Structure 1
Amino acid sequence: MILTEFNELSRDAALSTLRPALDIPRWQEEIVDARPFTSVQSVQELALTAAQPFTETEIDRALAHHPKIGERDGSESAEARLSRTEQASLGSTSDDDAERLKQGNRDYEERFGHVFLIRAAGRSHPEILAELTRRMKNDPQSERAEVAEQLRDIAALRIEGMLS
């Protein structure tokens, strides 16, 4: 789909189009109701600021659609397809890094109660592992803020892919 088509969709169809980018209805509504957009960049800019701050419930809802980093969601949902594409950009990893990521995911989930979320696109496995290590030192409130920021970054990248 291109931007002009997105601008012309019915409100419900436009909301459905955005859902795989970030399943937070309040965020989707703010973007859809701001149409028409003159550039994909303007949609992305709004995606980074819309519906701030996310509520705890909204973050939990959005996280429910994200597989663990380093693991592939085999379902055919739009979110799963996007996640597979994003994580494919990481390329292959050493067995050691894969095991460290697996253990890091377990430790993170035990500490924070949800999957470790990070924008995978444009990052290497060592970068992701370094971020995982750094973020394990966060207090829960700081980590929730980082998760919200990562959700926005992922959504902006997905919008670019959807509308370009």
Structure 2
Amino acid sequence: MTSSSTPGLTRFNAAEDGTARAVLHDICASGAWAREILARRPYRDAEELLTVSDAAVARLGPADLAEAMAAHPPIGRPTPGDPVSSREQRGMADAPAALRAEMLELTLAYQEKFGHVFLICATGLTAEQMRDAVRRRIGNAPHHEREIVRQELGRINRIRLARLAVTPATPPATTPATEGAAPP
């Protein structure tokens, strides 16, 4: 099989373990997931990386899922100064105040019931779609919701890993607009 590695994936494959681990932690805070991704380097292509990630997410136990979810900000409250968090939650940015208030109420009720933030792959979703999802999911049994969370985490990881794989081989020069920005 021929390699179709991208610049970002080539850089990730060649990175020192500590550097690669830090990059992976920015993608998913689960140590078990990161260890599995690191153990399988080098990757021939992005699809192989995504397949390994999917398998690693499928094997996460409850504590590993909790570790991963603890790093995700609540929907509607992206981490200040984190462009990734803001980009992923863009659908809530311009939501009317009443919808934002309803979302806050729903996500707090969800967190009270399940003991963790409402996790959804928010990329490309509108505020209304996110609200409707939390409304549907709040009635789930904990074991069923844990599997939905696992699926959503897998989707988030795939988007973030795909972005990592296609980043340019040479990062752009630091400018005031990009200074301090988290890597893609």
TM-score by length of 1: 0.88
Residue correspondence of structure 1 range 14-163 to structure 2 within 5 A: 14-74=20-80, 80-88=82-90, 90-163=92-165
Tell whether the 8 Å contact from 2:88 to 2:122 is kept in structure 1 after alignment: yes
How many residues align? The count is 160
- How far apart are residue 160 of structure 1 and its match? 1.4
Deviation at 1:90, TM superposition (A): 4.7
Q: Offset of 1:11 from its aligned partner?
A: 2.5
Q: Give yes or no for contact 1:30–1:51 (8 Å, CA) kept in 2.
A: no
- Structure 1 distance, partners of 2:12, 2:91, is 26
Write the distance in 1 (CA, Å) between the matches of 2:107 and 2:153: 17
Instruction: Give the gaps of 5 or more residues in structure 1.
Output: none
- Asked whether the equivalents of residues 82 and 158 of structure 1 are also in contact (C-alpha less than 8 Å), the reply is no
Query: What TM-score, normalized to structure 2?
Result: 0.79
Identity %: 26
- Measured against aligned partners, the alpha-carbon deviations of 1:53-98 in whole angstroms (never above 9, x if no partner) come to 3111111111111111011222x5xxx4422221125541122221
Q: After the TM superposition, which segments of 4 or more aligned residues of structure 1 sit over 2 Å from their partners?
A: 10-13, 88-91
- Which structure has the greater CA radius of gyration? 2
Match of 2:182 in 1: none
The root-mean-square deviation of aligned C-alpha atoms, in Å, is 1.8
